[in-house]
Structure 1
Amino acid sequence: MPGVDSEELMWLQELTKNFSEENKRRFLSIYQGRRQDPQTILICSLIGLIGPAGIQRFLLKQIGMGILYLFTLGFCFIGTIVDAVNHRKLTWEYNKKEAIESAALLGLKDF
């Protein structure tokens, strides 16, 4: 899968180790449509320094934080800078949640 780092790949392999090949294909199809790329989150965070702040939070489905960032200029740019530094962690947490939800959606795991 393109754009997946080794830690995420190992976690996905552990999550899908008991899946049949057909279920793995179905899971990966759903997961690829839901996951976010860390570079996209970084770029959106950096855009918040010169334009509308909080785009990265909207992409991570954190609507409340996105609105808060938008109205406070990313907490006076400090929150935006912190998000730019922590973009990998934010993306990893989001992608992990989406992987679990994708597996649950297929009825493959009970979480």
Structure 2
Amino acid sequence: MFDSPFMSLPGISPQEYAYLQSATTGFSEQQLRAFLMIYSSKRRNPDDMILYCILGFFVFGLSRFLVGQIGMGILYFFTAGLCFIGTIIDLINHKSLAFEYNQKMVFESLQMVKMGNL
């Protein structure tokens, strides 16, 4: 586990580690490096998400915009984070917000690696 290239990702959780391991099963060393390079540039660190959620009290919807939920970001922006309740919930659930976004980025990164090998 400690020799895995996924351990170089800052703030990686055991859940994300297991997901990455299963998603990249059967990859060659070169494919794994390409995947890791693409994924690490798209990934959101859960530790950084808590900062974005705190900043969401001043810039409403920031955390939602950063995870690609543009509609929710606009809603938060015009409703002051749903009267701060949505922002507080995002602050509590910052790890799940990051993990859901990272799951989408794993899929996109896998597609890019597979297209590069055609």
CA distance in 2, matches of 1:33, 1:75: 31
The partner residue of 2:72 within 65, 73, 78 is 65
Partner secondary structure for residue 90 of structure 1: helix
Q: For structure 2, which runs of at least 5 residues remain unmatched after alignment?
A: 1-7
The partner residue of 1:77 within 65, 84, 92 is 84
The partner residue of 1:13 within 8, 14, 21 is 21
CA distance in 2, matches of 1:83, 1:52: 13
Mapping 1:93-104, distance limit 5 Å: 93-104=100-111
2:42 corresponds to which residue? Answer: 34
Contact 2:9/2:40, CA 8 A, preserved across alignment: no
Contact 2:75/2:81, CA 8 A, preserved across alignment: yes
Partner secondary structure for residue 36 of structure 1: coil
CA distance in 2, matches of 1:25, 1:12: 13
CA distance in 2, matches of 1:53, 1:40: 17
Aligned: 1:43 with 2:48: no
CA RMSD of aligned residues (A): 1.2
Task: Give TM-score, length-normalised by structure 1.
Answer: 0.90
Partner secondary structure for residue 106 of structure 1: helix
The total of aligned residue pairs comes to 107
Partner secondary structure for residue 107 of structure 1: helix
Q: For structure 1, which runs of at least 5 residues remain unmatched after alignment?
A: none
Residue 2 of structure 1 deviates from its aligned partner by 2.8
CA distance in 1, matches of 2:32, 2:56: 37
Contact 1:44/1:56, CA 8 A, preserved across alignment: yes
